[in-house]
Chain A
């Protein structure tokens, strides 16, 4: 069965370190998204991609970057982790506009 997987599920890192969160989908979806979820803020969009070599900034993109070298993967990199980036991160994909998102199981990141 097709799926979308995130890894790791949990990570603790130190302030200033570079961290990469993986997102891999086998749906062959063009659209992929990264959100962070914090209490009181709901889900906020970090970056998104409409296809290979296409990436765009969302509303909370500072300190994050993504790259899309193939259809299946959209890794999220925290260039220099900060305590404010402690959060639950969700990756999602959809085939195109007009379809619902399928979310990964999430990565809980703690920056100490």
Chain B
């Protein structure tokens, strides 16, 4: 079952902040976040591992609440380049290790 993201879409002005949420119905080993611009491939942003270790890059942060199986992506002081569709993806571990199930995506639009 795919993770559920909210909101489905968000519109911002440059410099504003946004939070995108991701909720899983099953326990996850890790949560990934990707950004996809129109007509392009998804690009890896960040991974949050069970146990709290975080890996990633860029000036975007994220959290993972293992008890609730919820992750949030925080975009602060948004830039025009942040526009795109954001996907969370879960790795359930076990025999499915490394295999990701993607959420339905959140469309982020940043206006000047």
- What string of 1s and 0s marks CB contacts (under 8 Å) between A86-112 and chain B? 000010001011111111111000000
What's the tally of chain A residues with a CB closer than 8 Å to chain B? 26
Contact B101 A45, beta carbon cutoff 8 Å: yes
The count of A-to-B residue pairs whose CB atoms sit within 8 angstroms is: 60
B84 within 8 A of A: no
Which residue from chain B places its CB closest to the CB of A108 in the assembled complex? B39
Closest 7 CB pairs of A and B: A100-B44, A103-B41, A97-B98, A43-B102, A42-B104, A97-B97, A42-B102
A50 touches B41 (CB 8 A): no
Docked pose: A102 CA to B97 CA in angstroms: 17
Of B55, B98, B100, most A-chain CB atoms within 10 Å: B98
Q: Interface residues of B, CB < 8 Å — how many?
A: 28
Contact of B42 among A31, A40, A41, A103 (CB under 8 A): A103
B residues sitting closer than 8 Å to A (CB atoms) are 2, 29-30, 32, 34, 40-47, 49, 55, 87, 89, 91, 93, 97-105
The CA of A104 and the CA of B38, in the complex, are separated in Å by: 15
**Chain A residue with Cβ nearest B93:** A97
Give the CA-CA distance A90 to B99 in the complex, in Å.
14
